Each structure stands twice: as C-alpha cells, then as structure tokens.
Amino acid sequence: MAIEIVGPGHLLLTGEALAFLEALETRFGPVRQEILRARSERQHRLDTGSLPDFLPETASVRQGTWTVDPVPPDLADRRVEITGPVDAKMMINALNSGARVFMADFEDATTPTWRNLLDGQANLVDAYRRTLRLETPDKTYQIGPTPATLMVRPRGWHLSEKHVLVDDGRMSASLFDFGLYLFWGGRAALEAGSGPYFYLPKLESHLEARLWNDVFVWAQEHLGIPVGTIKATVLIETVLAAFEMDEILYELRRHSAGLNAGRWDYLFSMIKKFRNHAGFVLPDRNQVGMTAPFMKAYTELQVATCHKRGAHAIGGMAAFIPNRRDVEVTENALARVRQDKKREAGQGCDGTWVAHPDLVPVAMEEFDAVLGAAPNQLDRLRPDVSVDASQLLDVTVAGGTITLDGLRSNVRVGLRYLTSWLAGSGAVGIDNLMEDVATAEIARSQIWQWVRHGVSTADGTPITADLVRSMLTEELAAVPAETAEQAAGVFDEVALSADFVEFLTLPAYELID
C-alpha cells in the first residue's frame, strides 16, 4: 500500500478508510499542487502591479439566469450559526447552544495535532449518533434533544497532513479532513436524517471551487451516495474570491449551500495580497470595521450575488465575547454584537456567526426581528447593489491611524495566540475578543506591512523591527507558558522576515505532534 500513517493508529483508520484516503490523494493531489502554483503566480502578478478585476472570460456566467440547487430542510433556516473547535466539551456546548447550525472547525479554531484531528473526527460520528458525552468532576456534558445542524470545516488547500504519507509525500490536509469525515461522519449524518455539510475555507478562485466540486462528485460516487447530497458553504475570505462569487457558486451549483462573509480572513487577505503596495497600508485593526468601504462593498455584493442565485448569504463573526465575571465587559460585548447583527440582518443576510453560546440569544433576536417566521431572506434580491472593482479595493478608513497601542496589541495577540495554538488550543479569548488563526494572521501581517513600508505611528514613532522585537521581549515576560518561547520565535519569523510567510500555521505546524 502506498499510504503510510506516521503516528499512533486509530479505530477510524481502517483498511477501507485508508484506501479511500489514498484514492482521494492520488486522484486530486496533483490538481491541488497546480492550484498552489497558480496562487503563487497570481501573487507575483499582484506584487508587480496587477490589480484584480472581474474576469472577462466568465462574463457569461455572471450574466446568466442559473440558480443553485435547493438545500435540504435542515439547512433552510440558518439564522444563527455558532463555530468552534472539535473537542467534546466545545462541541456539546455548541450543539446545545440554541443556534440553528454548529460549524465544527478543523481549520482556524483547532490546533491540528494528530490527537486533536482523530479525536475530533470520532466526536463527529458520536455527535450524529447522540452518544457524544463528557464526564468531568463538576459536570456531565451530553447532547440535548434539539441540537444544531452540524457542518464541518476542513483545512484549506494550502495545508498538508504530515502524519499521512501517500507515495512518500504528505497528503493534502483538506482531502484528509474531508475524506475521513465523509467516510465515517458523513455516512453517520445520513443515517441520522441529516447530511454531509461543509464549509470551505480560503478559496481564491472559481477553479479552486471546481476542484472541490470534482472531489465531491467522485467521493459520492465512490461511496454510493447520491450526487448532490453534499452541501457546502464557501467562505468568501480572500479578496480575490470576492471578484468570483458568481463563478464559485456556479461551479458548486449542485452542492452549494451559499457563501459566508469570512471577515477576519478577508481583512488578512487584503493586507497579504497587496503587501508590497504602500497604498494598501491599513490602520489599527480595531479601527477597520464593517463600514469601511472595501468591507461594506464585498458584503453587500455577497448578499446580492447569493440571492440572485437562490443561495444563502451568511454574515460574519463578531470577535467580541462576554465575560461572565465582568458585567461591564459583557454589556459592551452584547451591545457591540447586537449592533453588528442588526446591520447584517438589515443588509439581507440569511444568517450570521457567533463564537460563544451566550451570544446566540442576542443574534437570534436581531434576525428574528427581520425574518419572523420566514426561514431566510432569499426573496430579497437587492437590485440596489452595484459594486465595481474600485469599491472592492477602496481601503480608505476615515480617521484611521496607526498607534503604539495598536502595535503592542498586535504583538500581544500574536504571541499569546501562538502560545495557545502550540499548546494544542486553537481558539482563545484574549482581551475580551475571541482570537483564532484569522485574527492572529491580521496581527502579524499588519506588523509586517507597517515595517515593510516604514510607517510611523500617529505620535511620530517609526515602526521598526527593533521596536517590534523590544515589545515582543516585554510581552514574552508576561507569558509563563512552556510554549511561549517557541511562539515568540514563530511570531518573529512570520511578522518580521524579509519575505512574507504565506500562512503562520505553516512554520507553526512543524512544531506540534
């Protein structure tokens, strides 16, 4: 057999399951490599002055009257979705939260240790069978009678799985997460009366959506599942994908469950893709909200595009989280989340994301106020929306500034998040915000951008590598965790290296088991 497991075995890694994974990688791994090469070539064109625009060669798709296939009943109403990692406690709490959908996240909220991945996959199967349970000295956690509909986010095309070798090369992490889930959890979902539902991260073009569609068709045929059973929501979390929303829906039209506005990865993408352009330097992260021109333009275009095609438009994540020990922090978080969800519901979104069970009622109230008894707003077509390329690239932030506090916050968030990630936890509350890979990416990429372009803070302090390293040393002294030194090393590399590191998880992944 050409597939090899480099790590402990697991009850899910049967001969049949491994053969399925091997076939997936053998068939689609080379196409994935072509996708990654195309990304690199596209980045080179951006670095040398090219700017994205709507594709002339796919104008007929944008002008067509096609629609996506309808979704199953348990995906018709998605007014509030909760996201989180795949450990048992978090999954049970999310499934019991009152949200309509729970997205189990192998991507940004889970550190992909081998144990986390395999335990998470087993937890998915147990969740469908209603046997997922956790006993602690203080409490018993078990799934209630009306859990949320379960969706799964595999890792992105850029990541590999070092514990699974096919012909001596690492398997695609996307294909591993997808394949092992579909083989076990997806079929358990069908037995439970639901289905294999996915979120697809970090796509940069409709050709990447085409690859996913080809994977879906082949996998369903291989396992004897009717083609079209799989449903997938694509996260529009890269600026390049924003120019191809119609085309992405078209490629997945038999399997589409809509688009989601992945706002924090989108902000990271804007910095990353135009990192060598001084005109795209952004102010402090906390000053770039959803009313910034480029953020507003892409979310309004998302809603208009989705509804034109009969697809759900799901809003993004508010980073604020409540603190049950601090009333003032909690009141502020609830007020900020309420404002954000009211805006999304009014904009025409069919649902939204939250990261904490305490935020579900607030988000639900705002969407209930707009939706009432209707499951969604698919009939709201938004003919008033007209977005051109210049609006999608307008990074003007009125009154925006770069401050020393903003710089230090980025250093602190990046260091503390990486410390947690390397210790095995991929979602962590820092300074009353829920941080995951996406927000850590913003933190380190902003620093890289500011140093690269020699900007100064509002008070005239030049932002240099020496200043950043000085702050990093100070922040490191306040983080006693064993993984902090390693985290500081990774952060220095991804924030200050001469060449931009595409994803911080690439070097960090080599440091975990």
Residue of 153, 155, 343, 412 marked active site: 153
Instruction: Tell me the pLDDT tens digit for each residue of 42-55.
Output: 999 999 999 999 99
In this predicted structure, the answer to whether residue 1 has a pLDDT above a threshold of 70 is no
Task: Identify the three-state secondary structure at position 105.
Answer: strand
In this predicted structure, the answer to whether residue 405 has a pLDDT above a threshold of 90 is yes
In this predicted structure, the answer to whether residue 469 has a pLDDT above a threshold of 60 is yes
In this predicted structure, the answer to whether residue 371 has a pLDDT above a threshold of 70 is yes
User: Could you give the angle at the alpha carbon of 120 between the alpha carbons of 114 and 126, nearest 5°?
Assistant: 140
DSSP-assigned letter for residue 462: B
Strand partners for 488: none
Pairing type for strands 231-236 and 256-261 reads: parallel
Count of structural domains, the chain: 2
- In degrees and rounded to multiples of 5, residue 498 shows phi and psi of -65, -40
Q: Is residue 144 part of a domain?
A: yes
* Residue 153: active-site member: yes
In this predicted structure, the answer to whether residue 303 has a pLDDT above a threshold of 60 is yes
Residue of 39, 382, 436, 444 marked active site: 436
Q: What is the mean pLDDT of residues 132-157?
A: 96
d(CA 376, CA 187) in angstroms, rounded, equals 27
Run of H or E residues at 13: none
Q: What is the mean pLDDT of residues 287-313?
A: 97
Estimate the crossing angle of helix 437-452 against helix 484-496, to 10 degrees.
50
Give the per-residue pLDDT at 328. Answer: 86
Instruction: Tell me the pLDDT tens digit for each residue of 328-350.
Output: 888 988 999 999 999 999 999 99
412's tokens: 């602190």
Give the per-residue pLDDT at 451. Answer: 98
Give the per-residue pLDDT at 200. Answer: 98
Q: Is residue 321 part of a domain?
A: no
- For tokens 């068709």, the residue is 217
Task: Identify the three-state secondary structure at position 499.
Answer: coil
Q: Is residue 102 part of a domain?
A: yes
**Does 26 share its domain with 170?**
yes
In this predicted structure, the answer to whether residue 432 has a pLDDT above a threshold of 80 is no
Instruction: Tell me the pLDDT tens digit for each residue of 82-111.
Output: 999 999 999 999 999 999 999 999 999 999
The CATH number of the domain where 146 resides is what? 3.20.20.360
Q: Domain ends where: 275, 310, 342?
A: 275
C-alpha distances out from residue 230 to 215, 222, 224, 247, 421, Å: 11, 13, 12, 19, 30
Least trusted range by pLDDT, from 111-120, 216-225, 317-326: 317-326
Average pLDDT, the chain: 96
Task: Identify the three-state secondary structure at position 34.
Answer: helix
Q: Is residue 248 part of a domain?
A: yes
Q: Domain ends where: 275, 296, 323?
A: 275
Q: What is the mean pLDDT of residues 449-453?
A: 98
Pick the closest to residue 197 from 180, 185, 209, 215 (CA basis): 185
* Residue 275: active-site member: no
C-alpha distances out from residue 90 to 94, 432, 448, Å: 6, 18, 33
Instruction: Tell me the pLDDT tens digit for each residue of 60-86.
Output: 999 999 999 999 999 999 999 999 999
* Numbers of helices and strands, H then E, in the chain: 19, 15
In this predicted structure, the answer to whether residue 319 has a pLDDT above a threshold of 80 is no
Q: Is residue 396 part of a domain?
A: no
**Does 268 share its domain with 410?**
no
Q: Is residue 185 part of a domain?
A: yes
C-alpha distances out from residue 67 to 78, 83, 153, 252, Å: 19, 28, 24, 11
Q: Is residue 419 part of a domain?
A: yes
d(CA 336, CA 348) in angstroms, rounded, equals 19
Share of the chain above pLDDT 90, in %: 93
Give the per-residue pLDDT at 314. Answer: 98
Q: Is residue 209 part of a domain?
A: yes
Instruction: Tell me the pLDDT tens digit for each residue of 12-29.
Output: 999 999 999 999 999 999
Instruction: Tell me the pLDDT tens digit for each residue of 474-505.
Output: 999 999 989 999 999 999 999 999 999 999 99
Give the per-residue pLDDT at 329. Answer: 83
The CATH number of the domain where 431 resides is what? 1.20.1220.12
d(CA 470, CA 475) in angstroms, rounded, equals 9
Q: Domain ends where: 222, 251, 275?
A: 275
Residue 120 · residue 86 · CB < 8 Å: yes
96's tokens: 């019991």
Residue 215 · residue 198 · CB < 8 Å: no
The parent domain of residue 28 ranges over: 3-275
Instruction: Tell me the pLDDT tens digit for each residue of 216-274.
Output: 999 999 999 999 999 999 999 999 999 999 999 999 999 999 999 999 999 999 999 99
pTM of the model: 0.97
